[in-house]
Chains A and B, each alone.
Chain A
Amino acid sequence: DTAVSQTPKYLVTQMGNDKSIKCEQNLGHDTMYWYKQDSKKFLKIMFSYNNKELIINETVPNRFSPKSPDKAHLNLHINSLELGDSAVYFCASSQDRGAGVDTQYFGPGTRLTVL
């Protein structure tokens, strides 16, 4: 059983296009995250939702818009894609509200290539 799943796994698209990445977790967790891992392998938080409420919104271009229809899903929509958006995007989830030890479980990643 896949705990955190993402679709698609690979996404190749042209500059200027709009695309979405979907994430689902079946762990019953309350909190979900989007991370971006760039070509230098640096993994950085973009957004986090807790029970459908946005709780982390890092300095990310407003072309990126997360949407959480329910606590098991967190999607990422990207408008007007740019070359610099090429990266691996990881979804993650965790149970705690930040108290104690947080184990974040990551999805397999979506490798986005913008041409």
Chain B
Amino acid sequence: RKEVEQDPGPFNVPEGATVAFNCTYSNSASQSFFWYRQDCRKEPKLLMSVYSSGNEDGRFTAQLNRASQYISLLIRDSKLSDSATYLCVVRMDSSYKLIFGSGTRLLVRP
């Protein structure tokens, strides 16, 4: 079983739609959680961290369920510029090591 699993997509949605991505992680010792965004042929960039209480940044909402070892990302009012691959990322405590999921591809169409 992969350490971090994501639905690869692609998710093909119209502008203005709401879309949700899910991610599961296998190691219950994982302590820090993130969503990174990677545009085509570009480097990954941090989108947002994920906190136990859930957190929101504009149109983006991230949720964490430690009991189910499940992380989600909700994007409201999708924009064309949201088209990218979204990477679920997990870090275990006392480690520099980030474990990346293989990413979920989002295509927002006009």
Contact = CB atoms under 8 A, between A and B. Distances in A.
Interface string B1-12: 000000000000
Grouping DSSP codes into helix (H, G, I), strand (E, B) and loop, the B interface class, with mixed when no group exceeds half, is: strand
Contacts, number: 48
B25 to A, nearest CB: 15
Contact of A97 (B32, B49, B96): B96
Interface in B59-110: 85, 87, 91, 94-100, 102-103
Given A41-B85, A41-B103, A43-B87, A102 B42 contact: no
A104 B98 contact: yes
Contacts of A90: 43-44
Interface residues of B, number: 21
Contacts of B98: 45, 102, 104
Contact of A104 (B38, B46, B95, B102): B46
A3 to B, nearest CB: 11
A56 interface: yes
Interface of A: 31, 33, 40-45, 48, 50, 55-56, 90, 94, 97-98, 101-104, 106-109
Q: Which 5 A-B pairs have the closest CB atoms?
A: A106-B43, A43-B100, A98-B96, A42-B102, A103-B46
